[in-house]
Structure formats: C-alpha cells, structure tokens
Amino acid sequence: MTQFPPDVHALIEASIAEDQTFNDPTTQAVVSLETQATGTIRAKANGVLAGVDLAIEVFHRVEPTLDAQAILQDGSQLSPGDDIAVVRGSAAGILKAERIALNFMQRMSGIASDTNRYVQAVQGLKARIVDTRKTAPGHRYLDKYSVRMGGGHNHRLNLADGILIKDNHIQANRSREMGLKQVIELALANASHTIRVEVEVETMEQVKEALEAGAHIIMLDNMTVPEMADAMQVIGDQAIVEASGGITYDTVRAVAETGVDLISIGALTHSVTALDISLDLDFD
C-alpha cells in the first residue's frame, strides 16, 4: 500500500468536502444502511494503471468498515474488462465514495497511459521522458507519481528542487546590464553545491554562452529538430541537454534521435485525457 504525504490526505479531505459526501440526500433517501454490495472497479480502455491505492484510501476514509482490495498494482498494463480492485460492504458507503475514487484514478491513469506512449515512442534511445511543473493545483505529487507509473521521470517537484534560468529571469537583469552568461555565472556563484544550474536557450549563440558560463544543464527551448541536432554537435558531453517546447507524440522520436538526454512534455499533466474506468455494483 502506498504511503501518501500529508498534502495528499488533505486533497482527499478537500474532495470529500467539495462533493458533500456525508450529505448525500439521494443515497440517504433510497439506500438502506443495511444493504450490502460488492463493487468491482474495471478498466474500459487500454492504458496504464495509476491511483488504485489512492482509490482504496478514499473508500476507507468515507466508510472505514468497507473491505477494499487492489487486484492490480499501479504501473500495470490495462485492457478493457480488466478487474482493477474490489470493494465490499455498505452499499451506501460505496456509492458515496465512488465518484471521488474514480476521479482520482481516471486522471492518474490517464497521465500514466499518455506518459507510457511517449516512453514507448523513444524506446531504444537514451532520452528520458520527463514532466514539468504544469500540474493541476494541489495535484502535484499525484500527477508526478503518475508520470513515474507510466515509465517517465520527474523534473523539478517544486521551485526549491533546482535552479532553472528562463527568459524572464534574464530580462529581470537587463537593467543591471547583465547578459545570459553573466546571469548563469551569478547563479553558479550563489547556488548551493548540491544544486545544479539549468538554463533555457533558444539560439545557437545562447548555447555557446551557456557552455562558456558553465551551465550544468542546457534546455533547448522551441527549437526545430535540425536546430537541436546542430546544438548537440556543439554541446557534446559538456552538459546535460533537455529538449522542451511543443514536442508532440509525432515528433518525439525525431527529437530523441538528436541525442538529447531529456525531453520534457508539459502536456502529460496539463492536458490530461482521463482513462475510462468504471465501478460495477452487485448487491448481496
């Protein structure tokens, strides 16, 4: 069973409050407290599972007497009709928790499934598929966990995880008459020895400046595939290289073939297509 951090438990509580789970007049009016049932959570589409332990946590939080058990583990490949989990006990409790549990699992499995498509697309090449901080508010931990379940890797969890110099950071120093190279050198001078410095670049001139300044990681932002290939010829093994900006499933393998180390894709978490998962209820 996954151990969740406090912010995930807080998100569960917020979801329960949002849905007014303990003030459900429909269930209260028509479902007897004595009625027992068995609910089976099933996949209705192909994909990769994520969030089954979280769904179980939701059922237990709403009705502690429920017996909820996972059949498949996160990271499992899913096909339509696959049984994912089973929950037994109070029919009222299952009905109250159902939508929240499925909402979490469908979103998380959608992220894992889309991530896995990208991972499979670059199979055999060294590039890693990584996420971004473009996550739903409050879902950062779960979104990034789901990327890992799909075979991807995490970029920064939050701002504290590293230094990433972007165009607005450069612009903020224009009044000090500092260019890209000087800003990178400033970051390196002020950074803890445990933190790496990454810089976003858009031109070959900026690539050369970043190398000269000693950046640990160079992000090639919104470059074409030929431009990335040219940049890799210049960078070689002098820095870790990340490709970012507008990369799609159709272009990701060509990007990986340039030799970049990382490919970051914001759409994994900011444009989620939920995986179709349902709960079928049988009454005892």
Which residue numbers are catalytic? 99, 134, 166, 200, 221
Helix (H, G, I), strand (E, B) or coil at 164: strand
How far is it between the farthest Cα atoms of the chain?
75
User: Which uninterrupted H or E stretch holds 180?
Assistant: helix 180-190
Rounded CA separation 79/46 (Å): 4
Rounded CA separation 98/268 (Å): 25
Mode of pairing for the β-strands spanning 67-70 and 83-90: antiparallel
Within 8 A by CB and 6+ apart from 137, the residues are: none
Q: Among 128, 99, 158, 140, which residue's Cα sits nearest to residue 262?
A: 128
249 contacts 233 by C-beta, under 8 angstroms: no
Rounded CA separation 197/214 (Å): 9
Amino acid identity of residue 71, one-letter, is I
CA angle centred on 241, ends 239 and 244, rounded to 5°: 155
Token pair in block for residue 71: 């059949």
Amino acid identity of residue 104, one-letter, is F
